[in-house]
């Protein structure tokens, strides 16, 4: 995408939503995780908020977009910069907190990590599998001091706690409304401006590299 007043953007989308996972020519990248706050309200939809983050020219501007006033709810915004800076901006309708990747890596799934944000998480006892995925990702990131595209692909293909693993698989004996699965796995290389994507479960589908000229 080449917006008139924002840096050029490459991003993915699904289900007719606005694109909100990708990176821009200013070296800002974003991934979004759904979280479950108890303070949701009528306001600016989070898909609009997260799309605005992708248009940021600086890290600070990305933060400002993520916590815009009058937002309806929030995501966990994993925000990276080509300099190596890594942040997790956990957001709800009325609160936020920022976690920093001090060790050179950061992971997030679908539960709040900040003690401040945990106090407003709705039904945390229903979010067990996401915690397993988080701890598994943390361990796999920490085990390797220098990751490669291949090692990151291995994390995305992991099946510990299957079917509710990092590589998530639909279980057909569940009600259709309760089924979930991985629909895309993505690695963004901000140095080489590449997006490495596997559509569907990455254990079954090949990764394709898209060279992006931004």
pLDDT in tens, 2-43: 888 899 999 998 887 899 999 999 999 999 999 999 999 999
Q: Is 169 helix (H, G, I), strand (E, B) or coil?
A: coil
* Residue 109, CA distances (Å) to 2, 49, 88, 92, 196 in order: 30, 19, 11, 15, 20
52 within domain boundaries:
yes
What pLDDT band is residue 203 in, cutting at 50, 70 and 90? Answer: very high
Q: How many domains does the chain have?
A: 1
> What CATH number has the domain bearing residue 187?
3.60.60.10
How many Cα atoms occupy the beta-carbon half-sphere of 212 within 13 Å?
A: 24
Structural domain including 64 reads: 9-211
- Please state the pTM of the whole predicted model: 0.93
1 within domain boundaries:
no
């Amino acid at each position: 995408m080449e917006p008139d007043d924002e840096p050029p953007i490459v991003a993915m989308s699904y289900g007719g939503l606005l694109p909100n996972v990708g990176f821009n020519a200013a070296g800002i990248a974003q991934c979004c995780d759904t979280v479950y706050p108890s303070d949701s309200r009528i306001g600016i939809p989070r898909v609009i908020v997260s799309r605005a983050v992708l248009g940021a020219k600086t890290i600070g501007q990305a933060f400002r977009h993520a916590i815009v006033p009058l937002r309806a709810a929030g995501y966990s915004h994993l925000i990276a910069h080509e300099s190596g800076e890594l942040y997790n901006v956990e957001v709800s309708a009325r609160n936020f907190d920022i976690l920093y990747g001090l060790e050179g890596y950061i992971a997030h799934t679908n539960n709040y990590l900040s003690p401040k944000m945990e106090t407003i998480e709705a039904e945390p006892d229903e979010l067990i599998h996401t915690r397993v995925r988080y701890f598994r990702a943390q361990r796999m990131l920490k085990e390797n001091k220098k990751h490669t595209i291949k090692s990151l692909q291995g994390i995305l293909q992991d099946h510990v706690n299957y079917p509710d693993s990092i590589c998530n698989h639909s279980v057909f004996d569940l009600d259709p409304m309760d089924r979930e699965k991985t629909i895309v796995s993505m690695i963004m290389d901000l140095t080489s401006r590449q997006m490495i994507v596997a559509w569907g479960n990455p254990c079954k589908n090949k990764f394709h590299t898209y060279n992006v000229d931004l």
